[in-house]
Amino acid sequence: MTLGADEVDLLRRSFQAATRDMPDLVDLFYRRLFQIAPETRLLYRGDMALQGEKLKSTLGMMIAQIQDLAMLHPMLADLARRHVGYGVVPRHCALVGEALLWAVRRTLGDGFDDRIEGVWRAAYQGIAEAMIAAAHDGQASRVA
C-alpha cells in the first residue's frame, strides 16, 4: 500500500475527527457490523465497551504507523493469530471493512468525501493484508 504524505495526513485527521465525539466511529462500526453480518455478534464474548476501546487504540496505533506497518510486525502477527482463536475467518475481513467505512462516512457526515473514502479503503486493505501475512509467517493457518 502506498499512501502519499497528504493522504496519510488526511487519514490521521479523519480518524481524529471520527473519534472525537460520541457516538464515535467504533460504536457505529459495531452497530453496523452486527446489522450487515449478525453472525459475527456471537464471536464477541467480552465487554463491548472495553472491546471498542481496544479497537480504537489499536487502529490509532496502526494509523500512526501506516507508512511502515512492518514495524508492527510482531504485534500484527499476535493480533491476527488471536483472531483465529476468536473464530474469525477471511470472509469476515470484507464485512468488517465495509462496516468500518460506513461508520467513517456516518461519523464525518458532510466532511466525508471520495478522497477520504479512498484513503480509508487503502489503509484498511493494507492493515488486513499485513495481519494476514504476519500471521502466516512461521505458521500456516486460516486468519482474518
Grid coordinates representing 138 are 512461521
Contact string 119-138 vs ligand HEM (x = CB under 6 A): --------xx----------
Considering the complex, state which of residue 47 and residue 110 has its C-beta at the smaller distance from ligand HEM.
47
Task: Name the helix (H) or strand (E) containing 61.
Answer: helix 48-64
DSSP 54: H
Measured in degrees and rounded to the nearest 5, phi and psi for residue 37 equal -145, 70
Backbone dihedral region for residue 97 (phi beyond 0: left; psi -120 to 50: alpha; all else: beta): alpha
For the CB of residue 110, give the shortest distance to ligand HEM in the complex, in Å: 26
Contact flag: residue 83 with ligand HEM (CB under 6 A):
yes
Considering the complex, state which of residue 45 and residue 109 has its C-beta at the smaller distance from ligand HEM.
45
For the CB of residue 136, give the shortest distance to ligand HEM in the complex, in Å: 15
Task: Name the helix (H) or strand (E) containing 83.
Answer: helix 73-86
CA–CA distance from 63 to each of 6, 20, 74, 126 (Å)? 14, 16, 16, 10
Segment 24 to 63, residues that bind ligand HEM, using CB under 6 A: 40, 43-46, 51, 54-55, 58-59
Considering the complex, state which of residue 37 and residue 110 has its C-beta at the smaller distance from ligand HEM.
37
Question: Comparing C-alpha atoms, which of 45, 125, 51 is closest to residue 93?
Answer: 125
Considering the complex, state which of residue 101 and residue 144 has its C-beta at the smaller distance from ligand HEM.
144
Q: Summarize as ranges the residues that interact with ligand HEM (CB under 6 A).
A: 40, 43-46, 51, 54-55, 58-59, 79, 82-83, 86, 88, 92-93, 96, 127-128, 144
